[in-house]
Structure 1
């Protein structure tokens, strides 16, 4: 990753729907070169996905529960396979590889405590997690 990649990431964080043409213009690349960089960032796991951020005045979406889950993987679990699992689960908003006693921190959004419980079960059964620690976001 270089300075151009960092600039691309900064722009995409603010404007994920920007065209490759406009993105390339802002960072000094051709449309094709900008698109290739974004695809490389996606395939390498730097960009995990794109999402719509809804305003708080949208009543039908509901805020749900936001939580942070520390995840320790089984020694034999491949971290790429874990990231693929995390990308595929709609509740997982972010997955960050960290130092310390845990391998990843997940930021999740679920509609209910029951949904959180089911997510924790999926983590331990399907993703290769051996241990989790969950913290609920208060505000």
Structure 2
């Protein structure tokens, strides 16, 4: 990655909808050369995607926590009741029914540790959860494969 690639990333970070011709104009390349560089950055896994950030999602996506919570349900809580209880919790991204000592693996995005504490308390108080084990993601995973 060179200085031009870094400039392209800066431009796209500020405005992911910036056209190839505008990128080229800003860094002194033709439209085709700018497009080729952007495609190479995508193919190399430097650019993983483009997204829309809303005001509601922004705190969780800017420097928040991504956590994985192993959940053991109380003996009196059935799976349907648990899934219905967590459905309205916006911070929970995924809930996977698992084998092993825990019943579910939850993936959640949260603002900070105070929000994590609040979520764990809510799960135990009103969702039929008797035990949790939480892991915090330290960074996003590297791409497993390149686009072809």
Structure-2 residue corresponding to 1:116? 116
Aligned residues between the structures: 84
Q: Which runs of 4+ in 1 moved over 2 A?
A: none
Aligned to 1:134: 134
Partner of residue 80, structure 2:
80
Distance (whole Å) between structure 2 residues aligned to residue 100 and residue 77 of structure 1: 17
1:71 aligns with 2:43: no
Separation of aligned partners in 1, 2:100 and 2:52:
33
CA drift at 1:83: 0.6
Aligned to 2:97: 97
Instruction: Look at both structures and tell me which one has the larger radius of gyration over its CA atoms.
Output: 2
TM-score between both structures, scaled by the size of structure 1? 0.57
After TM superposition, give the deviation of residue 54 of structure 1 in Å. Answer: 4.0
Secondary structure (helix, strand or coil) at the match of 2:94 reads strand
Report the counterpart of residue 10 of structure 1 in structure 2. Answer: none
Whole-angstrom distance in 1 between the partners of 2:121 and 2:135: 16
1:87: Cα distance to partner?
1.4
**Matches for 1:12-51 after TM superposition, within 5 Å:** none
Once residues 99 and 116 of structure 2 are traced to their aligned partners in structure 1, the CA distance between those partners, rounded to angstroms, is 24
RMSD over aligned Cα atoms: 1.8
Q: Aligned with 2:130: secondary structure?
A: strand
Cα displacement (A) at 1:63: 3.6
Other structure's SS at 1:118 match: helix
Q: How far has the Cα of 1:106 moved from its partner?
A: 0.2
- Output the CA distance in 2 between the equivalents of 1:107 and 1:101: 17
Unpaired stretches in structure 1, ≥5 consecutive residues: 1-52
